[in-house]
Chain A
């Protein structure tokens, strides 16, 4: 056995990995926490090198996002569109439809809701808000249906088409707010006239937290029930896992691709509607600031689980709000973006660890 001893000490230390059959449950909690700490550690080194006290900055971020009633309310304000769009994206991802067009669907939802508010300013609230709700969801849904049809019928890859349509939607809204819809009383800013009071979603107390929060919470519950309890949700789960089996079981894949994409876009459109109706009370340039893209990360990190989407949207909302707070301390906005980026990067990277087992080993070692 002395032979083995020698191998043990002389062996070269190497890294190896093995795919996990089932993701380990406690790791899926531990790894994200660990990832965030890694990101904070690295960013901290950078902050320290650029002359800031990292602990102070992180304290300010945490405090800004979650440290006060106001901070939490602002975090919720960011979380609403992230959650709504995230629910939509996750629904499409379930069926392996790579809808990365939530941003454009958000814009179209905002546009359609604004159209209702601006065209019929005298509608009573009870009619105005449902009409804006429907218009927003419908517009987002139809916008997603444009790439869904060629995908369903001809198999045209939806990743590219949904992405390209984002630019179209953003430019369309820009055209409106710079052109025909521009508020004459708006000092030439690219925004429309404010909506009438009837077109504004109710808010909670004196905060900016609006009724869209209820949309998101109810939406999550509905999606969960539909997926787990209904026949149609069952079809979606089967199609997402194994298309051949779905066809074999007589499910219509074409129909479901279109339906799911429509609903997916509908949620993103709703996010747009609630943003104009709940926050800005008008349509304006850059209404989304990338919510539709961040929603992809929300969907991914929450592993497409609707309730996790709410939680993750809240946490990422906090990351955004906390970032703003540190800018008041003189931290450049680029650094803030970097911290945010590092956190997302480590979270997504850490994902890998829940799927693979990584371990150290010695060449020639006896396990």
Chain B
């Protein structure tokens, strides 16, 4: 197909969920040879629109035209037969299987008796064509998140996808992987595919897209060429009003030591040493930022200081008391709040309603054996109001809420108990700019109120803005702890890549 020709056109797509309008007569066009970014606040309707394009949801009204022909998509399978493939934020790979097996699995072209060598050869040639590095024989569980994402992309290409949709693909990637991904997406566009991706990061939109569509409150407010716009214009389009960016303020003095780690070691799920002689401390009213490429022990670190993982050596001291290998329950009653990386999988219960989810950490404080239902409802209503959480009803399962609002609810619950120590892992992942600011503001408020905060982040700018000191982790070790000044930026980058302090010259 020729470049810039319309590949797929969505016309007046409307979809509502129990009276809640998620998409309101949205027009959307994706062209061949073009990388198209879809931008919008949390709950703007981006995922819903793309779900209509991949047959996950049936729009209430509207039309989808593919190469000038009206089509109806009944299932994701149907969509892929039309050449429309989606890479979801949560990958759908079979962990114990190899890359080749995963790719062959469920493809309609896969014959009953399959010739693995042939599939493998095809995978290699696809990967080469678009500049992706994968080992077709590796087992999926051995791969990093970035590699798994490549497998998902190749899977879609193998099935003949010409329209590739990625829902927040960069949220889980390292900066280097993000660059590689956009390289690949660009090559795919050059080969005539239409690529659509959802993101919240302006930098990526500017660097990686040709065209941008902005959704607001379920409506398409603008489709613009990337070269003809800038971040401020986009922000304005997205929020619908001027953003007043008051600089964040850090107030207060650090107090007593809240968390002390002494030569702590721990294994990961695969039984390999994930943390090595970690020693550090955090004081009340202080934020310790952990910088590092994902997968260097951050997750295990968060788990040991919340009681979710056992240590194999060392001591964990909270407010002077030894908490090494105590149960999560004891950590909770010691005043440790935890905002986990996987909010729907760990921090919340998707099928229960908002009231029940807000109960999760404090139900033990209710007197006697019974729950105080009146009180919990009141609390839930208050949190929804205080944190401006958007939801249809506090009695609906929370899985129907958008990503940003889920995170707000999680934070509201965790901060409610006036925690002594807050452990937060990628707290703004998947959040729009407004929500991101709100979350950072909240963290600083907690700091001001005297909480010790362990902030694990991939975003150096975030660490610079919030942290009082930054520890760099590499392969389970703290390489060094530095103050958050821009002079140290380069050093931090080198340490993240594994260079020793001496080599860096600190």
Contacts and interface: CB of A to CB of B under 8 A. Distances in A.
A242 B350 contact: yes
Interface string B144-160: 00000000000000000
A167 to B, nearest CB: 33
Interface string B325-366: 001111110000010101001111111100010011101101
A234 B57 CA distance: 32
Given A230-B370, A231-B364, A364-B70, A18 B58 contact: yes
B270 interface: no
Interface residues of A, number: 31
B72 A365 contact: yes
A231 B356 contact: no
Contacts of A247: 308, 328
A355 interface: no
A241 B352 contact: yes
Contacts of B17: 21
A231 B349 CA distance: 16
B58 A367 contact: yes
Contacts of A365: 72
A244 B359 contact: no
Contact of B397 (A7, A22, A248): A22
Interface in B274-318: 306-308
B349 A250 contact: no
B352 A16 contact: no
Given A229-B370, A234-B371, A366 B63 contact: yes
B121 interface: no
Interface in B59-85: 59, 61, 63, 69-72, 74-75, 78
Interface in A290-343: none
B400 interface: yes
B203 interface: no
A239 to B, nearest CB: 10
Contact of B70 (A4, A18, A229, A245): A4
Interface in B31-79: 57-59, 61, 63, 69-72, 74-75, 78
Given A229-B371, A242-B349, A249 B332 contact: yes
B361 A249 contact: yes
A163 interface: no
A18 B396 CA distance: 20
B370 A248 contact: no
B70 A238 contact: no
A237 B328 contact: no
Contacts of B332: 249-250
B88 to A, nearest CB: 15
A231 B345 contact: no
Nearest to B348: A245
B327 A250 contact: yes
B72 A250 contact: no
B75 A238 contact: no
A242 B347 CA distance: 10
Interface in B372-405: 373, 396-397, 399-400
B369 interface: yes
A125 interface: no
Nearest to A238: B349
Given A18-B74, A250-B328, A364-B70, A245 B347 contact: yes
A232 B328 CA distance: 17
Nearest to B57: A18
Given A247-B308, A248-B338, A250-B331, A16 B74 contact: yes
A258 to B, nearest CB: 17
30 contacts: A7-B70, A16-B78, A18-B74, A21-B400, A22-B18, A229-B370, A230-B370, A230-B371, A231-B364, A231-B366, A238-B360, A241-B349, A241-B351, A242-B345, A245-B346, A245-B347, A245-B348, A248-B308, A248-B347, A249-B360, A250-B327, A250-B331, A250-B364, A251-B329, A361-B72, A364-B69, A364-B72, A366-B63, A367-B59, A367-B61
Given A241-B351, A250-B330, 12 more contacts: A4-B70, A18-B57, A230-B370, A237-B356, A241-B349, A241-B350, A242-B350, A245-B346, A250-B307, A252-B327, A364-B69, A364-B72
